[in-house]
Amino acid sequence: MIFSIILILLVVVLDQVTKIWVVNNFQLYESLEVIPGFFNLTYLTNKGAAFGFLAGVDAAWRHYFFLILASIALVLLVVAWFRLHRDHRFYGPALALIAGGAIGNVIDRVRVGAVVDFLDFYVATSHWPAFNVADSAITLGVALFLLTNYLEERQKKHKEE
């Protein structure tokens, strides 16, 4: 449990420190080319969810919808952690990464009213949607969770044979 709490805190701190640095050193939409033709630091905000889902909806309820949704997700992550962390050693870290990322993005929604994104990967004129450290932690956590689940199922199937 201590490791999961430390991992959550590490993700939240790293996420918030990088976002604060970007907000303090860039103007909105300002971009700094880091690796030509591949990677920029670009200060953007996203009022929607992943890939800008509902970002174009101009309604006050959107902000509260995402805060409530994130709160429910965090409760479900805690429940999942208590149910699964003993089943395999990677479930705990996977859920902690997801929770840390979710908390980081919730902090943005409360503090700024939108999620701060700044990692901009691209090839030629094709850009991947900008993201941040919290998004990276969520993605890594989901991938680790799915991989662990797959390995668990495979191991169970192997034992049954």
Q: Exactly one of 15, 108, 120, 135 is catalytic; name it.
A: 135
pLDDT attached to residue 20 = 97
Q: Which residue has the higher pLDDT, 56 or 44?
A: 44
pTM of the model: 0.85
Considering just the CA atoms, what is the radius of gyration of the chain in Å?
A: 18
Q: What is the pLDDT of residue 48?
A: 66
Of the pLDDT bands very low, low, confident and very high (cuts 50, 70, 90), residue 47 is: confident
Angle at alpha carbon of residue 81, lines to 15 and 46, rounded to 5°: 30
Beta-sheet pairing, 115-123 with 126-127: antiparallel
Residue of 15, 108, 117, 120 marked catalytic: 117
Q: Would you say residue 51 has pLDDT above 60?
A: no
- 135 among known catalytic residues: yes
Statement: residue 96 has pLDDT above 80: yes
Cα–Cα distance measured from residue 71 to residue 84, given in angstroms and rounded to the nearest whole number: 20
Kindly report, residue by residue over 105-130, the tens digit of the pLDDT: 999 988 988 899 999 999 988 999 99
**pLDDT of amino acid 50:** 58
pLDDT tops 80 at residue 52: no
Tell me whether residue 65 is exposed, middle or buried, using C-beta atoms within 10 angstroms of its C-beta: 0 to 12, 13 to 18, 19 or more.
middle
> What is the torsional sign of CA 147, 83, 104, 49?
positive
Check residues 53 and 36 and name the one with the higher pLDDT. Answer: 36
Residue 25 has pLDDT above 80, yes or no: yes
Q: Tell me: pLDDT of 161 over 80.
A: no
* Secondary structure (3-state) at 72: helix
